[in-house]
Structure 1
Amino acid sequence: MIAAGLLLLAVGAVDLLRQMIRTRRVLAFAIAAVLLIVASAGLDALVAGILAVAVGAIWMWVVPENGPARAGLWPVALLGLAAAACVVVAPGRERPGLLGQLWASYRPGEAVSIDVAVLVIGCLVFLLESGNAVVRIALRSEMGGGAVDADAAPTLKGGRLIGPLERILVFVLTLSAAYTLLAAVLAAKGIVRFPEISRDRDDGNRAEYFLIGSLVSWVTSLAAAFLVWWGIRAG
């Protein structure tokens, strides 16, 4: 389970750093990699931390900041399979490392384990900006295999901000079993977007753009929530 959390944390951190930092990126990536490896050592998961850094570097190459992904949807599928495999193969650990022992000492009552906490943090970080990358890959794939220029694609105002907030809400509400509130949030998005979509009277591209982006975003959040739920049950 800890390996899945570190994996998603590394990939999510790569995309966040690319979005937030425009200069001295190499230094920022190096510092982030060292911090992740040090934290992994403190969690007695050094090998998993090193592999997570390697996967983050591969993700940065196959999923560029701008333009289509070099391998289409395959990087996303392989990342999901790798995270799921980590939860299946190693759902829980008896030796959580120094940081795990500190967590166990200070956590209130029967709180979640450090492995579950890292998995939740990894999912949250991944859903922020990497979720946008997943949606972008799906949209480019649907709109001609990446041949369509991003500037030529239909856009919806606030998508880069609404998307992460929406995914976090879906993730949290799903884990909280607040399904009624979850349905209300998803319905509210459609209602708010309806006036903007209804003006799309030419070929329906904006409506298709909205539907594909929303569905991919929701599926990504639900998959992350299921991964955490699976890890908790298996652990």
Structure 2
Amino acid sequence: MIILGAFLAALGVTDAFRDTHPSGISARRRYTALAAGLATLIALLATSGAPVATKVGLGISLALLLAVWALLDVITRAIGATAARYAAFLSIGAGITIALLLADDGSTAWPSWIPGPLSDFPPARVILVVGIALAQVTTANVLVRLILDAVNVPTKEGSDRLRSGRVLGPMERLFILGLGLAGNLTAAAVVVGAKGLLRFPELAASESSSRTPSPIIVQSATGNTPSPAVETPPIHQGPNPVTEYFLIGSFASWLLALAGLGLALLMLG
């Protein structure tokens, strides 16, 4: 549990420093984010009761995968956006797989100087839940954006029209995670449905504006008096980009929340 929680927490801390957009950041901020993630990974791995050789081997492997994720914009410039997306998804998938299949947490306990109710919970459980929550708040936003890019859904127009998405997304994922751990997925479904109802007026307005015919002024043959405006159908005839952004982004966000919940239930029993 501690190994998986450490890796997810390191991802979350990295993206908290890097911001939720993986490109267009300064080199200083990029490497500061990587350093913060590595420090989190090392600190949490040190709390594991696994043998030293196991912690060192896992630490090196997970640190390399974390570096691939943190340096995603550099890798994009080197090998292209499509290959970089595959590398990003594989780095997270490989890290989780290693933590699930190869990790041996051993037994560990809280230090004696930690009082209060926190000491009643096993450290491994606390680190796992905190790691999953951190990843849901920050890393999941980057994953959603990568998924939107992978299916060629324009993110700029959608994020400009639905500006609160980067805040609502983490909030709803935490709601789903918390309600799922509490055994109340029905309430989580209500949260999902409420989001769609609240967004419906914005989506309807966006859909209407994208299909409004645009007038064209036709110059007369003499060049003096323009002819009456002729309405032409809008250029965009497919699904509205904002609607696509909302639907695909929302479903991707919900699936990531359910994946986090599944990991938590799998490890916590």
Q: 1:195 to 1:118 in 2, by over 3 A?
A: same
Residues 134-158 of structure 1 deviation map (CA, whole Å, 9 limit, x = unaligned): 11011111116xxx5x435564121
Select 1:177's aligned residue among 167, 180, 183: 183
> Which of these residues, 15, 39, 43, is aligned with residue 38 of structure 1?
43
In 1, the alpha carbon distance for the partners of 2:47 and 2:175 equals: 31
**Aligned pairs (5 A) from 1:129-148:** 129-143=138-152
Identify which of 81, 100, 103 aligns with 1:87: 100
CA offsets 1:51-89 (integer angstroms, 9 cap, x no match): 333322110123679995643355325523531452244
TM-score (norm 2): 0.70
Correspondence for 1:126 among 128, 135, 139: 135
Q: Is the 8 A contact 1:6 1:52 kept in 2?
A: no
Which fold has the larger relative contact order, with Cα–Cα distance below 8 Å and residues 6 or more apart in sequence? 1
Residue 59 (structure 1) aligned with residue 69 (structure 2) = yes
Of stretches 224-233 and 46-55 in structure 1, the one that deviates more from structure 2 is: 46-55
Report the Cα offset of residue 173 of structure 1: 1.0
Contact 1:62 1:70 in 2 (8 A): no
C-alpha deviations, 1:144-203, integer Å up to 9, x for none?
6xxx5x435564121111111111111111111112211110111000000001111334
- What's the TM-score, normalizing by structure 1? 0.79
Bigger Rg, structure 1 or 2: 2
SS in 2 for 1:51: helix
Q: Which residue number corresponds to residue 7 of structure 2?
A: 7
Verify the 8 A CA contact 2:125 2:268 in the aligned structure 1: yes
List alignment gaps of at least 5 residues for structure 2: 211-238
Note closer, same or farther for the CA distance 1:196–1:71 as it changes in structure 2 (3 Å cut).
Answer: same
Q: How many residues are matched?
A: 225
Q: Does 1:207 align with 2:243?
A: yes
1-side partners of 2:26 and 2:201: how far apart? 35
One-letter identity of the residue aligned with 2:100: V
Structure 1 residue matching 2:180: 3-state secondary structure: helix
Q: Aligned partners of 1:34 and 1:225: how far apart in 2?
A: 26
- Structure 2: how far apart are the matches of 1:157 and 1:168? 19
Given residue 219 of structure 1, which amino acid in structure 2 is its aligned partner? Answer: L
CA RMSD of aligned residues (A): 3.3
Deviates more, 1:161-170 or 1:53-62: 53-62
**Secondary structure of 2:183's aligned partner:** coil
Residues in 2 aligned to 1:93 and 1:39: alpha-carbon distance in whole angstroms: 11
Deviations 1:191-218 (A, max 9, x none): 0000001111334222221110011001
Higher mean alpha-carbon deviation, 113-122 vs 77-86, is at: 77-86
Q: Is the 8 A contact 2:5 2:130 kept in 1?
A: yes
1:87 and 1:107 mapped to 2: Cα distance?
30
Output the CA distance in 2 between the equivalents of 1:54 and 1:77. Answer: 12
Question: Percent of aligned pairs with the same residue?
Answer: 28
SS in 2 for 1:72: helix
Deviation of 1:120 (Å): 1.1
